[in-house]
Chain A
Amino acid sequence: MRIAALICTIIAPQQSEARPISFPGGVTPMLRHNWEMNRLHLHYTPHRLHSLGVAVEEIRARDQTNLFFQWNRLLLRRNRERSQLNIYSMLESGVTRVKDEVEPALGLTFAGDWETRRYLAAYSVGFEHAAEFDNGSFHQTARLGFAPYLGNYGSLHSWLMIQLEHHPEEEESTRVGPVLRFFKSEYLIELGVDNQKDLNFNLVVRY
């Protein structure tokens, strides 16, 4: 049951670092390293309301690999002169391999964000289920961010954020820590550390 909980926890999309849908025709590779995994995720946006992606995850400290296909949908967007509000759904389907056993797995995450040029708030909650493991699982991630200066288009943009993660099945069920975000041109980089002194690193490129 413990293994089931762990598996369920790691297959969540956990898409808090960048919006899961780009502009039509846009391709977005994303690379993540954090306390539990290395993840490579690539998505393509055929329409402003949808994106399709594929993700490969390596779960360190366990002999485990995941492969998922992902369908993201923009459920709601509210544009204001100085702000944008989004709600997304992210459906993942694929396989997880643990110690030479391969099982199908399914995940569904809802994510929302509200952003101005100065402030940012984001929240996501994910529900997952892997075959053979019927207890299911969920996790939550929240972020609050602040831009210390307002850069115009094309300049270097910087954000100071605080990230809170809640993984009820983990020994360290709550993790909190600062994250620095920098982006310029097509590139977004995030660097952070949590209260367990584990490193967070995200790289996103929007082509």
Chain B
Amino acid sequence: MKKILYLLVILVSLPVAAESAKVKVTGMVCDFCARGVEKSFKGRDDIEKINVSLEDSLVEIQLKEKSILSDEEIRKVITDNGLSVISIERVSGKSSEKSPAKAKSQ
């Protein structure tokens, strides 16, 4: 019984892994394009961290704990910056899923 209680205490005290999303984009060919995406996401309250890779055409979004950001919202921010979304991969502590989106021009 004691062991179970210890285990419960440990589990409760573990930090909850915040969700992140890996967004594959097209059209991100220069620093200015990437900077716009970064600024747009950084201006939101639900974003903990954002990483942009020009080499991989990838935008990695780390959400704040308990925050929710839908695929539609992610797509809107990306397309508002003139880029297109190929896929959004969700990564969390428990599971990960891929939600491909057809790349389209504007």
Q: Which residues of A contact B (CB under 8 A)?
A: 18-19, 21-26, 48, 74, 77-84, 115-117, 150-154, 157, 183-186, 188, 206
> A150 near B55 (CB under 8 angstroms)?
yes
Chain B: interface residue total (CB-CB under 8 A): 31
Q: Is B16 an interface residue (CB 8 A)?
A: no
Q: Does B83 contact A (CB under 8 A)?
A: yes
In-complex Cβ contact of B30 among A22, A78, A157, A186 (8 A): A157
Interface-lining segment among B3-11, B63-71, B74-82, B91-99: B74-82
Cα distance A8–B32 in the bound complex, in angstroms: 32
Query: In the complex, are the beta carbons of B31 and A183 less than 8 A apart?
Result: yes
Contact of A23 among B25, B55, B81, B105 (CB under 8 A): B81
- Inter-subunit contact B26/A23 (CB<8 Å): no
Inter-subunit contact A153/B26 (CB<8 Å):
no
Q: If A23-B36, A48-B82, A153-B52 touch, does A79 touch B103 (CB 8 Å cutoff)?
A: yes
Q: How far is the CB of B61 from chain A (nearest CB, A)?
A: 14
- B35 interface hit (Cβ, 8 Å): yes
